[in-house]
């Protein structure tokens, strides 16, 4: 079996596993019984299967994508605009916006979330712009949501660690406590998005002063 055939068969297996993971949910919709804890775990497993399939399919698409333009140039699959955006703000503050809330990390690592951040950073660099680098950084994670849109309320159950893993080696050298400080914030909004800002630790007073005075940042 050649590599392409093997990889396509692998994708079929991943997709099949994803649909299998939804079997319990279909049974529940047909009148089956499931405890809240079991339902939460079943939903997490279903999401994890689909996310893993999507991430691997992303990688395979890039592996087999025919070259475009100059010889040997690798085509890239751009992130959909709805996924999120990145931009360098004033004062060298780097802003990443993901158009969804932090996923739960109660049962598994949110692979899709970290992979999306890496791809947004890749897309930023591919446009000819250089990523900033922070020796002593503060990462502010500000979720915009309302009660209706929020499902994970406890900060320790949110998958925010996948963000620091995604930016390590790109925006910061490491994610240890002496290199990266972390602030988890929440803002009332019907938008349901996750705003991530990286800045020098010495700029923290200015950042929070701007945020407290509602200057539209």
For the stretch 131-180, pLDDT in tens is 999 999 999 999 998 766 556 667 777 888 989 999 999 999 999 999 99
Please indicate, yes or no, if residue 73 is contained in any of the structural domains: no
The reply to whether 115 and 156 lie within a common domain is: yes
Cα–Cα separations (whole angstroms), residue 1 to 4, 66, 78, 86: 8, 21, 30, 41
Helix or strand or coil: residue 29?
helix
The reply to whether 146 and 184 lie within a common domain is: yes
pLDDT of residue 151: 62
48-88: pLDDT as tens digits: 778 777 777 777 766 776 665 544 444 455 545 557 899 99
The reply to whether 32 and 97 lie within a common domain is: no
77-122: pLDDT as tens digits: 554 555 789 999 999 999 999 988 887 776 566 778 888 899 899 9
Retrieve residue 193's tokens: 């998005």
Please indicate, yes or no, if residue 113 is contained in any of the structural domains: yes
Please indicate, yes or no, if residue 74 is contained in any of the structural domains: no
The reply to whether 57 and 109 lie within a common domain is: no
What residues form DSSP beta bridges with 183?
140
Could you give phi then psi for residue 87, rounded to 5 degrees? -160, 155
Range of the domain at 148: 84-212
Helix or strand or coil: residue 92?
helix
> Who contacts 212 (Cβ-Cβ below 8 Å, separation ≥6)?
none
Residue 65's region, left for phi above 0, alpha for psi from -120 to 50, else beta, is beta
Helix or strand or coil: residue 52?
helix
The reply to whether 49 and 89 lie within a common domain is: no
Euclidean distance between CA atoms 65 and 75, whole angstroms:
6
pLDDT band at 212; cut points 50, 70, 90: confident
Q: Which of 31, 64, 97 is the last residue in one of the domains?
A: 64
Q: Are 84 and 192 in contact (CB under 8 A)?
A: no
Please indicate, yes or no, if residue 150 is contained in any of the structural domains: yes
């Amino acid at each position: 079996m050649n590599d392409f055939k093997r990889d396509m068969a692998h994708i079929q297996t991943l997709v099949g596993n994803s649909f299998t993971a939804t079997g319990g949910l279909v049974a529940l919709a047909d009148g089956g019984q499931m405890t809240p804890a079991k339902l939460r775990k079943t939903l997490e497993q279903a999401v994890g299967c689909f996310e893993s399939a999507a991430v691997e399919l992303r990688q395979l698409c890039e592996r087999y994508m025919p070259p475009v333009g100059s010889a040997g140039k690798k085509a890239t699959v751009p992130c959909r605009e709805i996924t999120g955006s990145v931009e360098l703000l004033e004062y060298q503050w780097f802003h990443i916006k993901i158009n969804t809330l932090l996923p739960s990390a109660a049962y598994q690592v949110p692979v899709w979330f970290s992979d999306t951040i890496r791809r947004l950073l890749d897309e930023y660099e591919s446009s000819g712009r250089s990523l900033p680098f922070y020796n002593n950084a503060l990462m502010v994670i500000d979720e915009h949501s309302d009660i209706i849109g929020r499902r994970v309320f406890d900060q320790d159950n949110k998958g925010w660690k996948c963000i620091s893993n995604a930016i390590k080696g790109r925006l910061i050298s490491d994610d240890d406590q002496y290199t990266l400080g972390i602030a988890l914030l929440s803002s009332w909004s019907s938008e349901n998005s996750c705003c991530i800002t990286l800045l020098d630790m010495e700029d923290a007073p200015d950042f929070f002063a701007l945020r407290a005075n509602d200057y539209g940042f």
